[in-house]
Structure 1
């Protein structure tokens, strides 16, 4: 058996079989986040292995482990619904996932003040500057910065958190063995090594289908990112941005949603006002965020 992290060594279930069973379920025709959520809802209390033949699960698991090994991943972690260390807050999602892969320190997922900072891939110069200032201010207040390792706002959020000596979590839309965008390879390795990298994407399904279909994993990861976080902050986003998927998820999950004031001043978009009507919080200064976390006020322009 390939080596597993010590934190998985004493699980009450066989993590290899559960991983393989989950991967096998994802290989079935028409499987999706929605269909699998419905499957487990129809079989309450079931682990993936309860729904899959053990031999099929073991074959799938071996294929996953071999692929990870070829990509230099010898050790990785899992979080499986039904085990004691699965984050129950994930169940707040409309279609909660049953299994997560991760690299790095899972303890960061339990750290206080986890906030997701998200926004457009094609961030403006002003948006980039706001992201850096916001992240530095939050790191100073001991927040953990969560984002999706995409181009633009996400990349700046992770980089700034690291440069400021803070903590960061990346929730990615590919398997843990893949990198997107490619230019973030070094940053992804750094986060996986020194912080926390999380993925819900099934490797075997991802390998079997093309990029035009795999792109749908990105909005799904936004829902999970929101569920893992205490709040989401939107820096900058267009009217059709995938960021709005996370905005909707945050409100649906009972999470706080913050929107920077600059978005309300943009006449080209209408989504800020719509989300404010649903309970999103307008951010004119850092106090508007800190107040919700009962923190010490600090000026933010």
Structure 2
């Protein structure tokens, strides 16, 4: 199975890059845009493997030495750059400029994948402009972002943009024999986060935690929710920022479902398998309350970007949410 086969959906994008390589029409600099977690970085890694794959007939094969090293993150010529703290620094851009002066060391092509490229600060972004426009032969750039409008216009003008969406992902998931109806909201919500089938069960557990938090939020008892705080810390505390982002995202989707219920728009509900619980919560909330809680959730999501851990953010969200509903 090739690495492309392991990526859900995005059939047109995978076909485009396969054909571009075969016809030697691959551009040197791309911007991959779309919701977080939808498969942009995974696709860029697969393309990096395709460029360096040792199998002439099934690239990226996923099994040769180059493909395995790229998947493990140990290939010298495939470089993944991410923000240090809140931005991508000039020192990181300088390391790219240093590396690009030399020919690829162990592969056929050198690939730079810049994750969350919207975090390039003006200095580091400007340092890369000339290189993005005319990189030396055999060098390729993939800028990954969910916020393309935050990129410098001069960077966008030097790259080809490829837009990722959830189209085709649901169909691919439903072909799985173990697909469950409770997985549907994760794809239907349009927030990304679904890159492969193995993630679905974890998402379902996170959704249960999200609705429990809302149930505790409307509880008339001020001290309720302490057990949930411990459970959240145990379930999400060691899983990294992405799981916490999914948790906050799912709370927001549940709140939007509650707004649909309040407006008598049951047809617009995404989490239809939870409609009974959602209706119970909706009876305790007004639209203004829901919007205020959504604002609190967004603040929590922003807190993750500043390195604040879910163990600290979730109790604050619960406490502030209770103030709104009591």
* TM norm structure 1: 0.28
Bigger strand share: 1
Bigger helix share: 2
